Amino acid sequence: MNSIGNNIKSIRKQVGLTQEELALHIGVTPQAVSRWENGTGMPDISLVVPLAKTLNVSTDYLFGLEENKIDDDIYVNLKRQIEKIEKESETKSEAALASCQFMLKKVYESPDNYIYSVVYVEQVANLSRFVDLENFAQDKWSEYRGLAIKYGSNAIRFTNAKEWVERAHFALAWIYIHDRNYVYAREHIEQLPSVASNRLQESILAQLEDFENGIDAMDETVTKNLQNFVRAINKENMYAMESFSWNKPLRAVEFGEWAIRLMNVFGENIYLKSYCRGFLRDIYKYLINAEVNLNRFDDAAKHFEELKRQMKMQYKYHQGVLSNEEKKSKYNARQIGYMEAYTEEFMKEKQQDIIEYVLGCWHGEKAEKFAGAIGYSLR
């Protein structure tokens, strides 16, 4: 468990305050803050509440007694800003480059914030696809790649947050894959957890919670385990669909229709529903692309209509949660943030993204026939 001094230092850096700024907010000297963070002093009991309020955390978290929610808030805010960049960019490749530039600025502003560092690495991993496949942004690639390896490696070495260490390994693996450096890619992949052994932490952790903290704690752990499982399997399906839609389109159709049925089953559980939303759109996107690849334009249009119907149902569900405090309390800050961002305008944007993706993959007659099948004007 971290000392209160370590907690103050970590949170202060995450929210972007200097020691001087924190001291000014709570009416002490910068030297006092420095002593707290170095472990040579402790804040007076009268300062604990104003200190927690300034850092936007609970007093329990300040003393290491509960999980922090600040990571979720930071990530949700970054996600929204990156989505805004994607919306304002003309192409996916330009959006990827702009997102790298945006996150690099964030890293320079707060070099100790591991979330900024890892999200930057993830954006560079996304950019690597366009550099590899389209020879895009070649003049920037060497610099961005080098910084991503530096910041990603530092996050892995110095961060205790398991989720963000794994995300750094995952993103670095993608960068090395697109660099054709398969040895280094494999080294990072091997650091990620695997389901092959059937002896993951999750296999026994829920039982430990039952014995140690009771059945309610076990129930909460089981839910978290299922959420992580669903996210992992949906991501695996998405990557498979992307490749199948180009190279094995018949397999993509079969696999995609199965993956959609699977996600709908997951979605019957209210605690898993939000973990299927984005993946469902991607599965449909690659399924539609596979149908166009097969010249089955009416089937592509049918899947597009199915997706619109699914998104409308998801929107109604989110509105129901957000308008009911009891239901809302069952979700964490990141999930609520996603629900709040899931507006009617958001749905139209994502549907337009899918149309533009498919039209960008195919030109000439295929593009015209797909556009005609869904009633979309190319003019």
Between these two residues, 200 and 245, which has the higher pLDDT value?
A: 245
pLDDT, averaged across the chain? 86
pTM, entire model = 0.64
Q: Tens of pLDDT along 234-284?
A: 889 998 999 999 999 999 999 999 999 999 999 888 788 777 877 899 999
- Are the C-beta atoms of residues 137 and 93 closer than 8 Å to each other? yes
Beta-carbon contacts of residue 17 (< 8 Å; ≥ 6 apart):
25, 54, 55
How many angstroms separate the first and last alpha carbons of the chain? 61
- Angle between helix axes 19-26 and 48-55 (nearest 10 degrees) is 130
Position 2 confidence tier, pLDDT thresholds 50, 70, 90: very low
Q: Tens of pLDDT along 144-185?
A: 999 999 999 998 988 767 888 899 999 999 999 988 899 999
pLDDT score of 38 = 87
Answer whether residue 18 shows pLDDT above 80: yes
Q: Token pair of 358, please?
A: 């498919």
Give the other-Cβ count within 10 Å of 211's Cβ.
9
- Are the C-beta atoms of residues 367 and 359 closer than 8 Å to each other? yes
DSSP string, 83-116: HHHHHHSSSHHHHHHHHHHHHHHHHHH-TT-HHH
Answer whether residue 54 shows pLDDT above 50: yes
pLDDT score of 121 = 96
- From the list 199, 205, 197, 103, the residue with the least C-alpha distance to 155 is 103
pLDDT score of 123 = 95
Lowest mean pLDDT among 112-126, 198-212, 341-355: 198-212
pLDDT score of 372 = 96
Position 198 confidence tier, pLDDT thresholds 50, 70, 90: low
Instruction: Please give the average per-residue pLDDT across 186-201, as a whole number.
Output: 76
- For the chain, give percent helix, strand, coil, nearest 5: 80, 0, 20
Lowest mean pLDDT among 73-82, 235-244, 312-321, 351-360: 73-82
- Are the C-beta atoms of residues 169 and 159 closer than 8 Å to each other? no
pLDDT score of 13 = 75
Element (H, E) at 134: helix 114-134
pLDDT score of 157 = 86
Beta-carbon contacts of residue 47 (< 8 Å; ≥ 6 apart):
26, 28
